Chains A and B, each alone.
Chain A
Amino acid sequence: EPEVTQTPSHQVTQMGQEVILRCVPISNHLYFYWYRQILGQKVEFLVSFYNNEISEKSEIFDDQFSVERPDGSNFTLKIRSTKLEDSAMYFCASTGEGYEQYFGPGTRLTVT
């Protein structure tokens, strides 16, 4: 069964450094999303992406964040200058022609 994959599974970085989180959505899907979940809190929407541009973004998704689909398979989330409060699980998701979003296993980002 096709699935969303994410790399790395765990990323440790120092405050102020740039990080890129990578996702490979399900191959024929058209919409892509990033969510985050701070430890012990709920899953929060960050951004949705369609047709090579951002469709919607939340207040969390400020100028420090960017997304890109550099080729036909990868979908990336970049945090330009990480802060301690960016430590969280980051989930990628995708939707095809159906109604369900399929989520990846997540990347745990730890900012020290």
Chain B
Amino acid sequence: DAKTTQPTSMDCAEGRAANLPCNHSTISGNEYVYWYRQIHSQGPQYIIHGLKNNETNEMASLIITEDRKSSTLILPHATLRDTAVYYCIVRVAERNTGNQFYFGTGTSLTVIP
């Protein structure tokens, strides 16, 4: 069970920030929020993950609310190559864990020229 709720689809103008929301109201204290994306039928690609603090890497920023019941993935300057399905996943993260991911249906982001 994915345990997350995301909008089915979103559009974003090229060059603008894309803000993708995710609700995870039943998240447990030891569960992280992960974001992956899937471009066409390629393998899912890791973007970012976080526990409670906001995180930023070269691809995106992750903003997690204080109560941890929702989060937002931010692509600061969307390009056409960012058109993909974006998945928000919650799961326990421990070193050497074998826990698998349960994917939901994600948000289909279309970047418009």
**Chain A residues within CB distance 8 Å of chain B:** 4, 30-31, 33, 35, 37, 42-45, 48, 50, 55-56, 89, 91, 93, 95, 97, 99-106, 108
A97–B100 CB distance below 8 A: no
A100–B49 CB distance below 8 A: yes
Instruction: Give complex CA distance A87, B79 in Å.
Output: 33
How would you classify the secondary structure of chain A's contact residues: helix, strand, loop or mixed? strand
With beta carbons under 8 angstroms apart, the residue of A42, A48, A89, A99 that contacts B100 is: A48
B98–A43 CB distance below 8 A: no
In chain B between 34 and 59, which residues have their CB closer than 8 angstroms to a CB of chain A?
Answer: 34, 38, 41-46, 49
B101–A101 CB distance below 8 A: yes
**Chain B residues within CB distance 8 Å of chain A:** 32, 34, 38, 41-46, 49, 87, 93, 95-106
B98–A103 CB distance below 8 A: no
Instruction: Give complex CA distance A103, B100 in Å.
Output: 12
B45–A103 CB distance below 8 A: yes
Q: Kindly provide the distance from the CB of A85 to the nearest chain B CB, expressed in whole angstroms.
A: 18
Most chain B beta-carbon contacts within 10 A, residue among A89, A101, A102: A101
B98–A95 CB distance below 8 A: yes
A106-B42 contact, Cβ under 8 Å, with A97-B95, A99-B93, A100-B49: yes
